[in-house]
Amino acid sequence: MSKPAPSWSNWSGSVVASPKQVVSPSSIEEIAELVRKCKNEGRKLRVVGSGHSFTPVAATNDLLVSLDNLQGIVSVDSEARTATVWAGTKLKLLGELLHAEDLAQENLGDIDVQSIAGAISTGTHGTGIHLGTIATQLLGMTIVDGNGDIRQLDAESSPDIFGALQVSLGVLGIVAQVTLRLRSSYKLEYRSSRIPLSECLDRLDEFRTGHRHFEFYWFPYAETCQIKFMDETEDRITSRPIRDYLSEMVLENGVFGAMSGLCRRFPRLTKPVSRISASSVPVFRKVDYSHRIFATKRLVRFNEMEYNLPADAMASVIREMREVMERERFAVHFPIECRYVRGDDIWLSPASGRDSAYIAVHMYKGMPYRSYFAAMEEIFLRHGGRPHWGKLHTLKESQLRDRYPRWQQFLDLRSEFDPEGLFLNEHLRDLFIPVSGANDSHPDPKE
């Protein structure tokens, strides 16, 4: 169950930590025992999913808990189309297990390597203005709080606090199981093509309302973007495994990775590389079951910032970003990723209370990103932006407080669930402890 820990880092390598111990419990009781022991010894604890957050939300220099031994389906209700699953289950495995039961999640992000609890806890989302974040699929959970108490909570029995549990960055406790609202398996037709950026911005309303899923990638310094639509279909699965493999692994990852390496050495190449990427946007159509269509491979490592904005702000924010990029000439060759998500009523969900646009900026690993991200963040914040909890941002408690109507209620609930701050690291203290209360100098890792 416990092993000595080498140093730990997140997917992008931007966060490095030296946990004293990594523990992988195999039951809810083991989790509860671990929390109680930690509390008695005055130690700190963080639970990690797949380590795919860019922020140090999961990092600790003390005890790191992984739920990799707690994966799979606990029970399925086929009629109600719900399933209870272990919180450590990776989305790829979950997709296949649910598919075997003729069930599927209504929406997912663009990779499937995260754990279900990790994805839920940071407000991970896909795209589709009629569909909420993954956390909106949550109906109930079993969580071990900071006292080591096992609590079973669901939307019906705890309507007053359930909205706080849905997106909680692991500061309310360790989620052991989650119950998900599902639907029957379905296929998606995925179409990719390219159009001029100006046309895309003019037709955003039509695109976002006319398709189940719509997203676009704008290539900086090129007036072109890639548009992607996904719509439900009864058509046959397209089977072009070799072509798909070549497109994904060789073009999207291999060639792009090699060009990114060149950009890192010679930043002047970023503009021509962005233009080349824009002109080689693949035009294709593909049909498969939803969970296989959503997932893409991301082998080229990068750092990322993503902000949630009111849905109607998309076009004006992109235009401002373009103006600033033209002026500042940032060395950027990664496209800007633009998606839509339906609003929800989850306390700390960035999509809380509004239909949302999400805009993400990326920078190849090893290339300087701070001034570029800072300039973009300034624009996002002016338009009412709220950061994605798993992606880079610079906000602290005092700046977050005004962006979430139920912020103080969440802080109160956090103190109740974890009175001794067992689950806080330095990054999380910056987010959740008002400055006057920040009196702990525990040397935890930070970006």
Ligand X SMILES: Cc1cc2nc3c(=O)[nH]c(=O)nc-3n(C[C@H](O)[C@H](O)[C@H](O)COP(=O)(O)OP(=O)(O)OC[C@H]3O[C@@H](n4cnc5c(N)ncnc54)[C@H](O)[C@@H]3O)c2cc1C
Binding of ligand X by 122 (CB under 6 A): yes
Distance of closest approach, residue 347 Cβ to ligand X, in angstroms? 15
Region for residue 173 given its phi and psi (left: phi exceeds 0; alpha: psi -120 to 50; beta: otherwise): left
Residues 6+ positions from 243 with CB-CB distance below 8 Å = none
**Rounded CA separation 245/240 (Å):** 8
Residue type, 355: D
Residue 428 CB, nearest approach to ligand X (Å): 8
Closest approach of Cβ 21 to ligand X, in Å? 16
Contacts of 207 (CB under 8 A, 6+ apart): 200, 214, 216, 227, 229
Of 103-111, 204-212, 280-288, 324-332, which segment contacts ligand X by CB under 6 A? 103-111
Stretch that binds ligand X, among 167-175, 180-188, 232-240, 379-387 (CB under 6 A): 167-175
Q: Is 169 in the site for ligand X (CB under 6 A)?
A: yes
| 121 touches ligand X by CB under 6 A | yes
Shortest Å distance, C-beta 177 to ligand X: 9
Of 16-24, 169-177, 274-282, 437-445, the segment contacting ligand X by CB under 6 A is: 169-177
d(CA 177, CA 140): 8
Q: Measure Cα distances from 164 to 28, 132, 173, 185, 333 in Å.
A: 21, 16, 12, 29, 38
Are 304 and 332 within 8 A, CB to CB?
no
Distances (CA, A) of 33 to 45, 149, 150: 13, 9, 10
Q: Does 57 bind ligand X (CB under 6 A)?
A: yes
Single residue of 19, 51, 220, 343 touching ligand X by CB under 6 A = 51
Cβ(2)–Cβ(33) below 8 Å: no
Check binding of 114 to ligand X (CB under 6 A). yes
Question: Quick one: CA torsion of 258, 263, 268, 272, rounded to 10 degrees?
Answer: 40
58 binds ligand X (CB under 6 A): yes
Applying CB under 6 A, the span of 53-61, 238-246, 264-272, 280-288 interacting with ligand X comes to: 53-61
Single-letter code of the amino acid located at 29: E
Distance CA 363, CA 366 (A): 8
CB of 272 vs ligand X, minimal distance in Å: 25
Q: Residue 234 CB, nearest distance to ligand X (Å)?
A: 26
60 part of the interface to ligand X, by CB under 6 A: no
Asked if residue 140 binds ligand X (CB under 6 A), the reply is no
When the beta carbons of 221 and 400 are compared against ligand X, the nearer one is 400
Among 8, 23, 52, 325, the residue binding ligand X under the rule CB under 6 A is 52
Q: Identify which range of 16-24, 49-57, 180-188, 313-321 contacts ligand X by CB under 6 A.
A: 49-57
Q: Using CB under 6 A, count the residues that bind ligand X.
A: 32
Site for ligand X in 255-314 (CB under 6 A): 298
Residue closer to ligand X (CB basis): 114 or 136:
114
Looking at 51-59, 151-159, 215-223, 363-371, which segment touches ligand X (CB under 6 A)?
A: 51-59
Residue 35 CA, distance from chain mean position = 26
Q: Is 365 in the site for ligand X (CB under 6 A)?
A: no
124 touching ligand X, by CB under 6 A: yes
Q: Does residue 111 bind ligand X (CB under 6 A)? A: yes
Q: Identify which range of 43-51, 236-244, 252-260, 409-417 contacts ligand X by CB under 6 A.
A: 43-51
For residues 4-24, b (16+ Cβ closer than 10 Å) or e, as one string?
A: ebeebebbbebbebebeebbb
Q: Which residue lies nearer to ligand X by CB, 49 or 220?
A: 49
CA–CA separation, 443 vs 370, rounded Å? 24
Within 372-401, the residues that bind ligand X by CB under 6 A are 388, 390
**Is there binding between residue 188 and ligand X (CB under 6 A)?**
no
CB nearer ligand X, residue 98 or residue 178:
178
Choose between 213 and 286: whose C-beta lies nearer to ligand X: 213
Work out how close the CB of 109 gets to ligand X at its nearest, in angstroms, rounded to a whole number: 3
**Footprint of ligand X (CB under 6 A):** 11, 46-53, 57-58, 67, 87, 109-111, 114-115, 117-119, 121-122, 124-125, 169-170, 174-175, 298, 388, 390
